[in-house]
Amino acid sequence: MAVPGQGFEPATGDGPPAAPGGRREAELRTAYEGLLQIRRVVGGPAGAGVPAPWEVRQLPRAVALVLEAAGIVPSALDAQGRRTRNGYRVAAGAGPGRAEVTWLGPPGGGAAGEEQERLAACAAVLERLGWVCLLYRGPRGRRFLEVEPPGGPGGRVPGSG
């Protein structure tokens, strides 16, 4: 995958809305197909069904790529850092080898009411690709997904050593 600022960067939900259009969609499709190809090459018998070692090392980025490729809408920020759209946000998790997915939106935008259904949809997409997703309640009762590789944060995935 590309170095930040060089090439395709999946939407994490902490940036401006992506401009609609064919170029981003084509880059997203190429990046996602690359992820699946890497999985097939290094995954052994499990093939594309388990995360590749680079995904585990760059977990929030890999999770964001999968969610965006699945057509799930990311949250977005305006130039002042205010949320402008309901959607997923992917960030590093509380511990190493974990990512956290939340469902956020602008004040009064209804994100809290959508989060259980939307996070369940995110989990379904991620679990089909071999990630382990656990739903928790955080501060103020808001739900979030903790995402980790099979076998836990220190778990071994095929091709990792």
Asked whether residue 154 carries a pLDDT value surpassing 60, the answer given is no
Is there a contact between 99 and 93 (Cβ–Cβ < 8 Å)?
yes
Helix-strand-coil split of the chain, %, nearest 5: 40, 20, 40
**Angle, in degrees to the nearest 10, between helices 111-128 and 59-69:** 100
pTM of the model: 0.88
Confidence of residue 6 (pLDDT cuts 50, 70, 90): low
pLDDT: is 143 or 7 the higher one? Answer: 143
CA–CA distance, 148 with 134 (Å, rounded to integer)? 9
Asked whether residue 69 carries a pLDDT value surpassing 70, the answer given is yes
Nearest alpha-carbon partner for 106 in 77, 79, 80: 77
